[in-house]
């Protein structure tokens, strides 16, 4: 591994008892993946689950990087997109790993965005009652959120991520170079999750994003590294406090109750990417917080101003096509998996960087926020 590359690599530890692992981030990590991964292998062989888009762009670089350390690899490239995250492609993946004679002490690699990380991680969780896996996230969303913290799973016809397991990776390699090949829309969707971290728990980070968001979007390496590092530091802190979401981990769902209803009514399609729904959901969560007298009027305006300045979807008006009425959206929220004892749980905020979990939100207030947002379309 050459020294220039090494010096740009940062480590964020996730110090879970018995299952501690590192998130390594910086440029060139695909090329040096062999040296990074070798300490985790019992034999010099690994299996890569990816999608066809990522395979076309980056699989050669990763396989050469493994090969440099004498590690052979086989790969399975699934179709790209959310429709892969169901039983058929999951079964195909597990059966491929079995045909490849992957053993319990082997390590598989999830190489892609959130869909691949979740699906391959879940395959690792159940294969031979659990094999080790390494996350190599290739989207901004996966680098700052889904590759960290051990949530794995697939979708059911009844809803997203309803079938799954907690299974922590052994290592996360977040190569900043791969972000350069992301379409702008996908990058900005991932940025929705980045903004979420500032809004939920770090007002200074939100200030920083307001000042530096344009550099992050235009590809400035230092700005991107700071963005990913601060995001995963926050995620690691929260996961350490509450690995299985009995309490604080729910803070990571800021904006997600609105987002899941909007994704549902837009058919989990190109009309609304998950991260775009998170951004709109964060704006609505601040609107709701303000309506409930929890935060100042200025806060929701600031959130929306930053999203708009970044060229992101911010309002319901930014979602193309028809949307159902507020009552229908509210009813869909009532089926969310965050409902406990029939009560909708929302993440609300007392200000920027001060989110908390609320389980007693009056549905009239939610309805009125939705009605106002729909009327502005």
Residues with catalytic annotation? 129, 151, 193, 235, 245, 249, 253, 256, 260, 274
Judged by CB, which is closer to ligand GLY: 145, or 186?
145
306-342 b/e (C-beta count within 10 Å ≥ 16 → b): bbeebebbbbbeebeeebeebeebbebbeebebeeee
**Closer by beta carbon to ligand GLY, 151 or else 167:** 151
Give min distance, CB of 235 to ligand GLY, in A. Answer: 7
Residue 358, token pair as written in the block:
């609320």
Nearer to ligand GLY, 131 or 252 (CB): 252
**How many CB atoms neighbour CB 259 within 10 A?**
24
Residues in contact with ligand GLY by the rule CB under 6 A: 145, 149, 151, 249, 252
d(CA 168, CA 121): 8
**Shortest Å, Cβ 301 to ligand GLY:** 26
The first and second tokens of residue 306, run together, are 């930053």
Instruction: Pick the closest to residue 26 from 3, 56, 55, 49 (CA basis).
Output: 3
State the nearest-atom distance from the C-beta of 243 to ligand GLY, in Å: 9
Question: Would you report the helix, strand and coil content of the chain in percent, each value rounded to 5?
Answer: 55, 20, 30
CB of 258 to ligand GLY, least distance (A): 15
Q: Which is nearer to ligand GLY, 151 or 224 (CB)?
A: 151
Q: Please provide the DSSP assignment of 89-128 as one string.
A: HHHHHHHHHHHTT--TT-EEEEEESHHHHHHHHHHHHHGG
Position closest to ligand GLY via CB: 252
Helix and strand numbers (H, E) in the chain are: 15, 11
User: In angstroms, what is the minimal distance from the CB of 274 to ligand GLY?
Assistant: 10
H-run or E-run covering 132 = strand 132-137
Q: Which C-beta is closer to ligand GLY: that of 24 or that of 151?
A: 151
CA distance 100 to 94: 10
Nearer to ligand GLY, 226 or 235 (CB): 235
52 φ, ψ (degrees, to nearest 5): -65, -35
Contact yes or no for 252/333 (Cβ under 8 A): no
Helix, strand or coil, per DSSP, at residue 33: helix
213 Cβ neighbours under 8 A, 6+ residues apart: 191, 306, 309, 310
């Amino acid at each position: 591994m050459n020294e220039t590359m090494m010096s740009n690599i940062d480590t964020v530890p996730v110090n879970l008892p018995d299952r501690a692992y590192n998130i390594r981030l910086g440029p060139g990590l695909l090329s040096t993946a062999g040296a990074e991964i070798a300490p985790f292998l019992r034999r010099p062989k690994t299996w890569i689950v990816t999608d066809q888009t990522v395979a076309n762009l980056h699989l050669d670089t990763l396989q050469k990087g493994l090969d440099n350390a004498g590690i052979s690899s086989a790969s399975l490239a699934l179709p790209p997109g959310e429709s892969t995250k169901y039983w058929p492609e999951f079964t195909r993946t597990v059966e491929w790993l079995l045909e490849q004679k992957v053993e319990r002490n082997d390590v598989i690699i999830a190489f892609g965005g959130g869909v691949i990380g979740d699906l391959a991680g879940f395959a690792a969780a159940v294969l031979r009652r659990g094999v080790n896996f390494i996350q190599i996230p290739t989207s901004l969303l996966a680098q700052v959120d889904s590759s960290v913290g051990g949530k794995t799973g697939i979708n059911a016809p009844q809803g997203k991520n309803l079938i799954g397991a907690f299974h922590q990776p052994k290592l996360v390699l977040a190569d900043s170079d791969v972000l350069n090949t992301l379409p702008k829309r996908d990058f900005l969707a991932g940025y929705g999750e980045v903004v979420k971290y500032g809004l939920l728990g770090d007002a200074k980070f939100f200030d920083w994003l307001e000042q530096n968001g344009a550099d992050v979007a235009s590809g400035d390496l230092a700005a991107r590294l700071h963005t990913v590092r601060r995001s995963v530091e926050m995620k690691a802190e929260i996961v350490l406090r509450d690995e299985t979401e009995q309490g604080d981990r729910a803070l990571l769902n800021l904006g997600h109750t609105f987002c899941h209803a909007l994704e549902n009514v837009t058919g989990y399609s190109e009309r609304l990417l998950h991260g775009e729904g998170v951004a709109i959901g964060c704006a609505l969560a601040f609107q709701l917080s303000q309506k409930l007298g929890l935060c100042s009027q200025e806060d929701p305006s600031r959130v929306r101003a930053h999203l708009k300045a970044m060229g992101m979807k911010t309002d319901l008006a930014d979602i193309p096509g028809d949307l159902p009425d507020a009552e229908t959206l509210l009813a869909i929220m009532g089926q969310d998996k965050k409902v406990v004892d029939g009560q909708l749980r929302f993440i609300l905020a007392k200000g920027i960087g001060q989110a908390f979990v609320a389980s007693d939100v009056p549905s009239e207030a939610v309805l009125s926020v939705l009605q106002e947002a729909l009327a502005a379309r």
